[in-house]
């Protein structure tokens, strides 16, 4: 893959490898990710991300993590990297809320309107009273009723669920070997601090925020790998020690590619594993390295509801910008954009979803650059998995495009 185009990312990246454990890809390597069962997921393309949770794998460090009516101990349980650096968090038999969180002095300041996501890897504990239900939230100032509860009961399975949430967006993903990554996203309404606050719930799937109760002996959870970031989703895991760490954006492109690009007609094809980050993104684009002449498949979140669109700009004139509502998209999507003078069409999963018969491409300049998961200027990064791409120098027929995009 890296032989065909340039991957420019000056930081390493952790994703699930084919063996079900987190794998580190070095600088400028395409981060090929797999599902927990070993099946291919795709190349993960993301914008830059910063983990503000310090000591993300050192959760018994009292400088960066505060306990409330819990104890924490290192454990030999295999962690998501395949090592033995997990922690066992246990309730104490005291009345009150039972948690681990970032202490006040280490919390990150936020401003009104900012959206923050916290996340942590969890696995059901080994105690007789190990709970199935756990909770994530931010600090109280973020919103007294904002929280999410998660069911992680199926160790080694894939059916973890969100059982209850309020005031934000909760997500859970299975990482293999009994580990789930749970995340909680909320937007500040003028509050001052974000946090990673993981709580026990007395095993109540509808418990309110940080419930108070008398804890039990042998009620425990394995935890590992905390993350706090200004983002509408939990991005790929970023390890930290005593300071925040930034993973730079993925910049994937091919230049001097005019011979590979249909200049007067052609077809773009891309297969992705969809992840809606809430941002407007460019999924696949060709251009003359400017905004003046370009053809792109985009997801536009600046309209409501969001739309998957074909975008064709010829000599600064927007010839086509239309598509279909994409807010319900999930999982694998096969998308093709076929273009020709007065004949542009967008296809998804075996069907035509948008047609234009008036686009004037006669003054389109020579197209030279190909960008995957971003625009020509390395902006508008997609936040999803690219599974396959293809360029055709002819405008494929309607039956060909339908066949190409059929799942």
What is the C-alpha end-to-end distance of the chain, expressed in Å?
23
In the numeric block, the tokens 């993981």 are attached to 198
Structural fold of domain 49-246: Jelly Rolls (2.60.120)
The residues pairing with 307 across neighbouring beta strands, listed in sequence order, are: 300, 325
Q: Could you report the per-residue pLDDT of 26-81, keeping only the tens digit for each?
A: 999 999 999 999 999 999 999 999 999 999 999 999 999 999 999 999 999 999 99
Both structure tokens of 39 = 């099946």
High-pLDDT (> 90) share of the chain, %: 90
- The percent of residues in the chain predicted with pLDDT above 70, rounded, is 96
| pLDDT, position 1 | 39
- 3-state SS of the chain is CCCCCEEECCCCEEEECCCCCEEEECCCCCCEEECCCCCEEEEEECCCEEECCCCCCCCCCCCCCEEECEEEEEECCCCCCCCCCEEEEEECCCEECCEEECCHHHCEECCCCCEEEEEEEEEECCCCCCCCEEEEECCHHHCCCCEEEEECCCCCCCCCEEEEEECCEEEEEEEECCEEEEEEEEECCCCCEECCEEEECCCCCCCCCCCCEECCCCCEEEEEEEEEECCCCCCCCCCCCCCCEEECCCEEEECCCHHHCCCCCEEEEEEEEECCCCCCEEEEEEECCCCCCEEEEEEECCCCCCEEEEEEEECCEEEEEEEEECCCCCEEEEEEEEECCCCEEEEECCEEEEEECCCCCCCCCCCCEEEECCCCCCCCCCCEEEEEEEEECCCCCHHHHHHHHCC
Average pLDDT in the 306-329 region?
A: 97
Which CATH fold would you assign to the domain 251-405? Jelly Rolls (2.60.120)
- Residue 141 reports pLDDT greater than 70: no
Burial class (CB in 10 A: 0-12, 13-18, 19+), 155: middle
Asked if the model's pLDDT at residue 133 lies above 60, the reply is yes
381-407 residue pLDDT tens: 999 999 999 999 999 999 999 999 999
Looking at residue 157, what is its pLDDT? 54
Split at pLDDT 50, 70, 90, the class of 132 is very high
- Where, residue-wise, is CATH 2.60.120.200 in the chain? 251-405
Residue 158 pLDDT grade (very low, low, confident, very high; cuts 50, 70, 90)? low
For the segment 244-301, what is each residue's pLDDT rounded down to a tens digit? 999 999 999 999 999 999 999 999 999 999 998 888 999 999 999 999 999 999 999 9
Average pLDDT over residues 159-180: 92
What average pLDDT does the structure give for the chain?
Answer: 94
Residue 192's pLDDT is what?
76
CATH 2.60.120.260 range(s) for the chain read 49-246
């Amino acid at each position: 893959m890296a032989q065909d185009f340039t991957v420019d990312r000056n930081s390493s990246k952790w994703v699930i490898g084919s063996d079900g454990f987190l794998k580190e890809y070095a600088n400028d390597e395409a981060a090929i990710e797999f599902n927990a069962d070993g099946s291919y997921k795709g190349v993960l393309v993301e914008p830059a991300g910063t983990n503000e949770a310090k000591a993300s794998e050192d959760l018994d460090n009292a400088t960066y993590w505060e306990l409330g009516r819990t104890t924490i101990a290192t454990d030999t349980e295999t962690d998501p990297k395949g090592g033995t650096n997990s922690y066992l968090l246990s309730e104490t038999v005291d009345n009150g809320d039972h948690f681990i969180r970032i202490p006040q002095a280490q919390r990150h300041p936020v401003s009104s309107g900012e959206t923050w996501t916290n996340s942590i890897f969890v696995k059901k504990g080994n105690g007789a009273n190990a709970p199935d239900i756990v909770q994530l939230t931010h600090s109280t100032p973020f919103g007294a009723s904002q929280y999410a509860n998660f069911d992680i009961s199926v160790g080694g399975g894939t059916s973890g669920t969100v059982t209850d949430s309020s005031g934000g967006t909760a997500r859970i993903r299975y990482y293999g070997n009994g580990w789930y990554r749970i995340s909680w996203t909320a937007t500040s309404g003028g509050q001052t601090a974000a946090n990673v606050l993981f709580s026990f719930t007395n095993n109540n799937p509808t418990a309110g925020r940080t419930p108070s109760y008398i804890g039990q002996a042998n009620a425990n959870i394995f935890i590992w790998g905390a993350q706090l970031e200004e983002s509408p989703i939990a991005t790929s895991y970023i390890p930290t020690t005593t300071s925040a760490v930034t993973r730079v954006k993925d910049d994937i492109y091919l230049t001097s590619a005019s011979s590979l690009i249909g200049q007067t007609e052609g077809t773009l094809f891309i297969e992705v594993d969809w992840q809606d980050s809430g941002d407007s993104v460019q999924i696949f684009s060709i251009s003359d390295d400017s905004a003046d002449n370009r053809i792109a498949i985009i997801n536009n979140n600046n309209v409501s509801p969001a739309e998957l669109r074909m975008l064709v700009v010829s000599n600064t004139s927007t010839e086509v910008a239309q598509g279909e509502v994409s807010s319900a998209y999930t999982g694998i999507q096969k998308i093709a954009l076929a273009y020709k003078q007065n004949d542009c069409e967008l296809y998804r999963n075996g069907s035509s979803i948008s047609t234009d018969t008036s686009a004037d491409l006669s003054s389109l300049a020579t197209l030279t650059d190909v960008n995957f998961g971003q625009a020509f200027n390395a902006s508008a990064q997609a936040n999803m998995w690219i599974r396959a791409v293809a360029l055709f120098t002819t405008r494929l027929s309607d039956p060909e495009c339908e066949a190409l995009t059929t799942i």
